[in-house]
Amino acid sequence: DLLRMGVIELNDANEEENCFLTLDDKDTKKYTHLEIFPSAILGAGASIIPYPEHNQSPRNTYESAMAKQSLGFSTPMMNTSTYVRQHFMWYPQTPIVTTKAMNLLGLEDRPAGQNCVVAVLPFDGYNIEDAIVISKAAVDRGLGRTFFFRIYEAEAKQYPGGMRDNFEIPNAEDNIRGYKGEKAYRLLEEDGVIATESPATGGDILIGKTSPPRFMEEYREFESKGPYRRDTSIGVRPSETGVVDTVVMTQSNEGGKMYKIRVRDMRIPEIGDKFASRHGQKGVIGILARYEDLPYTAEGVIPDVLINPHAFPSRMTVGMFMESISGKAAAQRGTKFDGSAFVGEKMEEIKVALEGSGLKYSGKEVMYDGRTGKAFPVEVFMGVVYYQKLHHMVADKIHARARGQVQMLTKQPTEGRARGGGLRFGEMERDCLIAYGASMILKDRLLDESDKAEIYVCERCGLVAYHDVKQRKYVCRVCGDKAKVSSVSVAYAFKLLLQEMQSLNVAPRLMIKERV
């Protein structure tokens, strides 16, 4: 009705160019339009930040992006959801310093974070560079604890000629290509599928499946002839562990038999896991500190989180200070405080609430070192801040390699964590070693441990020779019988470059001499 009467007008970005807007309804004479509600100018991400008008704008932008990565209670139908990846927090809490938009967005019913007692204090250097110190006792009681679910699925397809996939335990005696060894299939039951509540680690098979051979498979020498099948079993990802949560047998769209298996992994916060407040103050856990080592107040309050004072001066996230003392007042009073943009609780009201509880309005308190029992020489700022656990967990990123697969083309280690790849020693890393003059390490990384290869070069003409199987010797195509062939150690990628240049009719010649 108000739209039809012209009282409310919906303007797009172009129309807004010619409007003169105000947020305050007290002085409207020189303005053309008045915002319906001041907080409504913010989007869904920014509207969950308490006191955002007191933060530097890039920090609000960062939080708008990070809010989407927070883990919480995304759906009440967690037992029936079929997302491939899903996280669920064990004990999510609604923030005690909230905004009007949080209820509209459903974050009061399905929250994505927890209220933490936060002190701004260094801790032996374990919270430098934005790291945070978290109380191990709080973690043991369930702070930041989440479940990670991953769904694995396999379908039995029908092929032309009456052949089809079978769900079964592959047998070594049945001429099966890609057989993974008896240990990998140890958890499977008679139907070829793992049982619920079975613990599984990386490489364990969840669904045993064999498939008929591919139509035009490449010819393989030295392999037993006769009918064979391929092992196409589905296993747990190499870097993951968990417990089988649910096993569902269903039908695919094509009418074939299909299994869906959900694996559950409990993620307890550990060093390297990422957390963030609602003000763009993100950081990873630097240490899980023992309860008895953490600082405490005269009342015996021990903080859950310690963050470094250096996180504030340059970033100017004053909104986090305001949330901290508002949270403190709200916890003492037992009510929620509103921190909505432009219309949140005024600091005067918070001051009354804090002083009424016998606390300082500054938010600072005398604290004692848990290790020495002595009071700190200065007062410590402490309050209640809402922290979000983000889905960047060290368990999903940790990666190391000693030996492993190499690429077929370049003979160099494969790339990426999923393939068990190597860590790239790049140009800049190489330059650092050159600057140090560390020639042996340089050779070790770039040649010996990468793609060292022996090639045979004709000393007379400098071209690469080849091995003649019939004559049982190395032969140079150009020099013939006059050739003198010697072995040279090079990177396989260099040998590849030489051959690619030769394919373009460019003949690179190697001038070789005795190895020193």
CA distance 347 to 361: 9
Residue 429 is encoded by which pair of tokens? 């890393």
Look at residues 303, 307, 358, 304 and name the one whose alpha carbon lies nearest to residue 329: 358
CA distance 21 to 232: 63
Look at residues 120, 29, 185, 93 and name the one whose alpha carbon lies nearest to residue 324: 120
Beta-carbon count within 10 A of 382 CB = 24
CA distance 414 to 422: 6
Residue 159 is encoded by which pair of tokens? 């092929």
Query: Which entry of 27, 109, 124, 130 is annotated as an active-site residue?
Result: 130
Look at residues 270, 264, 209, 215 and name the one whose alpha carbon lies nearest to residue 234: 209
CA distance 439 to 287: 37
Look at residues 11, 21, 65 and name the one whose alpha carbon lies nearest to residue 43: 65
Q: Which residues pair with 260 in a beta bridge?
A: 153, 248
Beta-carbon count within 10 A of 243 CB = 14
According to DSSP H, which parts of 314-470 are helical? 318-333, 347-356, 427-436, 439-443
Look at residues 161, 148, 116, 132 and name the one whose alpha carbon lies nearest to residue 382: 116
Question: Which DSSP category does 446 fall into?
Answer: I
CA distance 209 to 234: 7
CA distance 246 to 322: 45
Concerning whether 130 is annotated as a catalytic residue, the answer is yes
The DSSP-derived string for 257-324 is: EEEEEEEEEEE---TT-EEEETTS-EEEEEEEE-GGGS-EETT----SEEE-GGGSTTT--HHHHHHH
C-alpha dihedral sign at 457, 458, 464, 465: negative
Mode of pairing for the β-strands spanning 367-368 and 296-297: antiparallel
Mode of pairing for the β-strands spanning 282-289 and 274-277: antiparallel
Could you give the residue numbers annotated as active site? 130
